[in-house]
Amino acid sequence: MWWLWPALVVVGYWVLPDLIGHHGQARAFAGSGDVNQLALTFDDGPGPDTPAVLDVLQQQGVLATFFVIAEQAVRYPTVVQRMVAEGHEVELHGWHHRSALVMAPWTAWREVARGRALVAAVAGQPPRFYRPPWGHHNLVTALAPGLLGLRRVLWSIAPDDWRSDRPPDAIARHVVRYALPGAVVVLHDAGGDRTRTVAALEPMIAGIRRLGFELVPLGALQEERSWVRKIWAWREGVFTRRYRVETVPAPDGGPPVLRVGRAVYRGPVLEGPDAAPPIRPGAPMAEIHFQNYTLGQASGGRAGGLRAWARVGQSMPQLGQWVAQDPTLADAALVGGVTVLDVGRAVERLGFHRQEMGGLAMLPMRFYLVVLMVVFHRQGLGVLRRLARLKPVLIYMTRQEFLARYGPRTP
């Protein structure tokens, strides 16, 4: 059993802190889903491409947060001072760009403490946030920031702009596709050729603004304090990336209400309208997903469901344009989704058919939807009083029906 103590040291010093602090993001700063804000952050600088990044941000009127390497800040002091002068936040990414997974305790402490002192000296103000390189943690880098007055920050959207095979349009599209309220985007302004990141910034910012998001630095981002909602935001990001769910802009430029992605229909056989063939399990579908944070704000009270459906109805023409133009949805047999927000007449006025989804196969979906209501509904756990009435309902139209009602109109 000689190996037991070394194993405990490895697990306690490296493995558990990285699992909890990096992958679990425990006690890390995260934005609130209640406010339609999004933060752009940049790592690894400053470097030769940083002035070009600052030029685009200045032209677009965007303030961002730069997590700088202290030794790079000493090498490019005028760039750091420009960041501060233009209103950006200058925060700490470490003394050197080293992984915490290869650091001894005393080295890890110096990386944070010495890095903080150097950044404060160059920027003229102490940093408030710390992001470890690659997000890696050990026991010291998990504890040192708090002892030194720093908040740890990771990210929720990473377009991998550091990869040489990522063109600017792919970088911009990735960020816009996965934008959610309170998201923290990690980009890079140094550490290699960043001309692709620079080229991606303008279309990225335009796309984010089309979705109604306000771009703010971390210090202005409203913090999410509920650990339950932090976990849910992480799960929402994983789901969005896995199923490539797209956000549909709201008609008034406000918070988006709807998202849509390609899926496979797995319900009962549905009769098509008139002479149309029936829709069978396995058919491709354009699956509607509600923007839970936005609809949660409309919930509460006896009229909460009606308010939520009114918001959905306002966004239907935008969804119609999206379904008509997205090539991945061209063969969709139906447009719809499963919900417990079933207000019959409101659903029917929008043109949707309703199909109750019962049976043992729907138990996991029902559980998921009930948890969703508890997390986002204003009544919180109080919504469980209505548990017996919260039944999953499929709302749907055939693609032809949907486009005839909500698709683009030719002059």
Question: Which helix (H) or strand (E) is 171 found in, with range?
Answer: helix 168-177
Residue 303: per-residue pLDDT: 47
Q: Which of these is catalytic: 88, 136, 174, 188?
A: 188
Number of domains in the chain: 2
Strand duo 65-68 + 246-248: pairing: unpaired
Q: How far apart are CA 26 and CA 154, in angstroms?
A: 10
Residue 235 belongs to a domain: no
**Where do runs of H (alpha helix) occur along 244-378?**
292-298, 304-314, 316-325, 344-349, 363-376
Domain end point (choices 191, 225, 259): 225
- The verdict on 249 and 221 lying in the same domain is no
Q: How far apart are CA 271 and CA 382, in angstroms?
A: 37
pLDDT digits (tens, 9 = 90+) for 295-304: 555 555 444 5
Q: Which of these is catalytic: 43, 49, 161, 342?
A: 43
Give the domain extent around 44.
4-225
- The verdict on 33 and 174 lying in the same domain is yes
Is 43 catalytic? The answer is yes
- The verdict on 20 and 167 lying in the same domain is yes
- The verdict on 170 and 290 lying in the same domain is no
Residue 233 belongs to a domain: no
- The verdict on 204 and 248 lying in the same domain is no
| Token pair of 49 as six digits | 């491409």
Is 188 catalytic? The answer is yes
Residue 365 belongs to a domain: yes
Residue whose entry in the numeric block shows the structure tokens 């210090």: 219
Residue 239 belongs to a domain: no
- The verdict on 196 and 256 lying in the same domain is no
Domain end point (choices 170, 194, 225): 225
Cα–Cα nearest to 41, from 120, 129, 108:
129
Residue 154 belongs to a domain: yes
- The verdict on 39 and 145 lying in the same domain is yes
- The verdict on 208 and 356 lying in the same domain is no
Residue 238 belongs to a domain: no
Q: How far apart are CA 390 and CA 81, in angstroms?
A: 56
Q: How far apart are CA 81 and CA 65, in angstroms?
A: 13
Residue 293 belongs to a domain: yes
Low-confidence ranges of the chain (pLDDT < 50): 301-303, 381
Residue 221: per-residue pLDDT: 96
| Token pair of 96 as six digits | 């050197």
Q: How far apart are CA 395 and CA 400, in angstroms?
A: 15
Residue 339: per-residue pLDDT: 78
Q: How far apart are CA 242 and CA 289, in angstroms?
A: 14
- The verdict on 252 and 202 lying in the same domain is no
Residue 294: per-residue pLDDT: 62
Residue 60 belongs to a domain: yes
Cα–Cα nearest to 362, from 281, 235, 239, 266:
266
- The verdict on 23 and 167 lying in the same domain is yes
- The verdict on 61 and 197 lying in the same domain is yes
Looking up residue 70, the CATH number of its domain turns out to be 3.20.20.370
Of the chain, the end-to-end C-alpha distance in Å amounts to 80
- The verdict on 296 and 219 lying in the same domain is no
**Where do runs of H (alpha helix) occur along 222-315?**
227-243, 292-298, 304-314
Distances in whole angstroms, Cα of residue 400 to Cα of each of 260, 324, 333: 17, 10, 8
Domain end point (choices 225, 260, 276): 225
